[in-house]
Amino acid sequence: MVTTTVQPRLRQRYAESVRTKLRTHFQLANVHQVPCLRKITVNMGVGKAIENRKRLDQAVEHLTAITGQKPKVTVARRSEANFKLREGQAIGAKVDLRGARMYEFLDRLISVVIPRIRDFRGIARNSFDGRGNFSMGLAEQSLFPELPLDKVEFTQGMDITMVISGGSDEMSLELLSELGMPFKR
pLDDT at 165 over 70: yes
Alpha carbon distance 124, 110 (integer Å): 14
- Is the predicted pLDDT of residue 54 greater than 90, yes or no? no
pTM for the model: 0.85
**Residue 110 CA: distances (Å) to CA of 9, 10, 176:** 12, 10, 10
State mean pLDDT over 65-77. 86
The mean predicted confidence, pLDDT, of the chain is 85
What superfamily does domain 9-45+94-179 belong to in CATH?
A: Ribosomal protein L5 (3.30.1440.10)
Sign of CA pseudo-dihedral 101, 140, 45, 134 = positive
Tens digits of residue pLDDT in 115-162: 888 888 888 888 888 888 999 988 887 788 888 777 777 778 889 999
What pLDDT does 96 receive?
95
Where are the domains positioned within the chain? Answer: 9-45+94-179
Of 63-72, 83-92, 119-128, 160-169, the poorest mean pLDDT is in 83-92
SS3 64: helix
